[in-house]
Chain A
Amino acid sequence: MRVPVPLTLALTRLVAHASRLAGRGSGATLPGALAQRLDPGLAGLLASRLPGGTVLVTGTNGKTTTTKMLAAVLAAHGQRVVTNTSGANLATGVTAALVADADLRGRPRASMGLFEVDEAALPAVAAALRPRCVVVLNLFRDQLDRYGELDTLAATLARGVAACTATVVLNADDPRIAALADAAAPGTRVTTFGLEVPAASGSSQGTAGRTTEDAQRVAPGDADRCPRCQGRLVVSRSYYAHLGHYACPNGDLTRPSPDVAVTALGPATTAGSTFRVASGDTELDVAIALPGTYNVYNAAAALAAAAALGVAPDTAVTALRTVSAAFGRFERVEVAGRTLYLLLVKNPAGLGQVLATFLHGAERPHVLLAVNDAAADGRDVSWLWDVDLAGLAATDPVVLTAGSRGLDMALRLKYDQIPARAQPSLRAALDTLLAELPEGGTGYVLPTYTAMLALRALLGQRTPTRGEAAPAVSR
């Protein structure tokens, strides 16, 4: 006999409340799991009652930021959005968010659902929610102990894409993602986003004959081969990691010409990005308060989804301007007369982008790399050795390491001839970082996920004042 919906909702809310009182985080996992147990169809039922339907955002890097961008866009479009947080992006978290939004009779207060979804969880969540739009950002090696191979994960994403009912938004510059167009159900539209600007680096044709030390200057590729025929892709342009322009030599995969194309990029600053986007006949000038090529991609994804959801381009662009960084990702904290940037890192592609965006060309920057190995961080820290540190080494940095794998991080740096001092605790590391920074100086804190949570808590104890986005620092 099915548990009556109001009962499930009431019980779940009770548990969520108790969970929060007990200090167990946002109180999403337990209540979400309970709701699923009592009524496995509840999430789908609640989602079906959202007049504007649901949008899912997935991918290795950028889910949280792109979701935040889309939330602002949809709000500007007059939608009341129910959403989840990055700490709750599994099925349990999505369910908990829907439950929290609904009244006791199971009617949602929101008009639309917008959820970031863990890559492995996408098929189940998409099957339950029947989303009108699924946005797939990228696929990079990340927590391989949890996710297994990239090919497997791509196949998982394909099952999620197949459950989308109206529009699939894909990154044209990521071969595995572009190939997910194969998985879109008949009758659904595929829309793509990507970069069309000249690249910083030229083509990378292969490593045969080159010493692998040269090859390591480019981090090992996550998408060297055509997902359809396994032929070696010919890369003509490289934006970062494996994102760029590619073609299968056997003609099995051609990079789609992006529907939302970034055609010009303003000068790189650490304050944010300006760029021009071509979408159909329209050209838009976009400014966002988030720096780095990776955030240009996130914004392009948000614009592509916005167009698919019927948001006027001007509305979307205006909304994007207001978006500040998601917590832990380019968070600026003023402490004891110094400025600290908190820059979450999770995998080689992300760490590479953070280093390139914030530390490229810096002189003797003060850096704290805080590496934990809890489940949420990735328990296998081998990934640190897939990161290209040549750029960092060139800045002659002052580096501290910390976290449960702070010693491993120091060892990684040692083999790139970068002196680093492992600290006995996160607190000690923060103290040392601040003590070594001159008055008014800027420190860069690069933590993995749980280290980021812990450091934010420590900084909270110091009652920091949150800064606004920094004025441009030209390099």
Chain B
Amino acid sequence: MGVRLTIAHLYPREMNLYGDAGNIRALVQRLRWRGHDAEVAAVEVGEPFDLAGADLVFGSGGQDSGQAIVGPDLLARGDELRAAVAAGVPVLAICGLFQLFGHGYTPLGGGRIPGIGVFDVDSVGGGERVTGNVVLDTALGRVVGFENHSGRTVLAPGQAAFGRVVRGVGNDTASGLEGARTGAAIGTYLHGPVLPTNPHLADHLLAAALRRRGVDEPLAPLDDTLELAVAEAAAARPRRT
């Protein structure tokens, strides 16, 4: 019996710069291939949206100017989002939204944008842009992607990272850690996009969402031969081509 999940896509107009809409595509298609479905609802600045109805929350990166625009709107939804995370709703927050799911982001020119504190992290902009192919070791297995950020994020003691950097830079130039993880919420800088290339991560998020909707059976396996080949090839690419 198929379930129709509601995926809340945060700010697709402002925060869409790095191909991360592909993550939505991966989630929806992988659900459909299992006989489930998804409704993807855009949550736009200034538009009312009942986040209590979301089975999964997704948001990604954009320009600094976009972040400045969504910041206050995200703050206004902070209680709802924190409640969702506390209730175990899976979240994937990438790049700019990863930063705003922390305590805040201070761009190079100043003008701190407060965040909603789901992750106990703080981010600053500036410094050299960090780009290149990334390989992570995570509790969910190997994850490959591409990072492209000038922001640096520091984890407070006690805040779990998403993964350890095997190749690449990650959150900052010192820790060797990438992203953050709190409950079913994952924050990361990885583009790629990260879900098509790492189907086990996509399925992890989907399984968590389905379980909350009473679907306990494990997800039917899909033929991920191509995905695995892509991840292998990506992991073998040089850091900088």
- Interface residues in chain A, defined as those with a beta carbon under 8 Å from any beta carbon in chain B: 141, 144-145, 148-151, 206-213, 215-216, 220-221, 224-225, 230, 373-375, 379-386, 404-405, 407-408, 410-412, 414-417, 422
Contact = CB atoms under 8 A, between A and B. Distances in A.
A209 B230 contact: no
Interface stretch (B112-120, B164-172, B188-196, B203-211): B188-196
B241 A212 contact: no
Given A216-B24, A379-B133, 13 more contacts: A208-B44, A212-B12, A215-B12, A230-B65, A379-B131, A379-B146, A379-B241, A382-B22, A385-B20, A385-B22, A411-B197, A415-B22, A415-B26
Contacts, number: 138
B226 interface: yes
B234 A225 contact: no
A407 B231 CA distance: 9
Interface string B16-56: 11111110111011000000000111101001000000000
B9 interface: yes
B129 interface: yes
B185 to A, nearest CB: 20
10 contacts: A144-B148, A148-B150, A212-B24, A212-B42, A213-B24, A215-B12, A220-B17, A230-B69, A381-B146, A385-B196
Contact of A148 (B29, B129, B226, B241): B129
B42 A415 contact: no
B137 interface: no
Contacts of B9: 212
A375 B240 CA distance: 8
Given A212-B12, A415-B22, A382 B240 contact: no
B159 interface: no
Given A149-B17, A386-B19, A411-B197, A380 B131 contact: yes
B63 interface: yes
A415 B12 contact: no
Interface of B: 9, 12-14, 16-22, 24-26, 28-29, 39-42, 44, 47, 63-65, 69, 129, 131-133, 146, 148, 150, 191-193, 196-197, 226-227, 229-230, 233-234, 237, 240-241
A220 B21 contact: yes
B78 to A, nearest CB: 20
Nearest to A221: B13
A403 to B, nearest CB: 11
A404 B192 contact: no
- Closest 3 pairs between A and B when the two form their complex, measured CB to CB: A385-B22, A382-B19, A220-B16
Nearest to A406: B233
B230 A224 contact: no
A220 B12 contact: yes
Contacts of B132: 145, 379
Contact of B13 (A207, A384, A416): A207
Contacts of B41: 209, 211-212
A211 B65 contact: no
Contacts of A150: 17, 63
Contact of A211 (B14, B42, B191, B240): B42
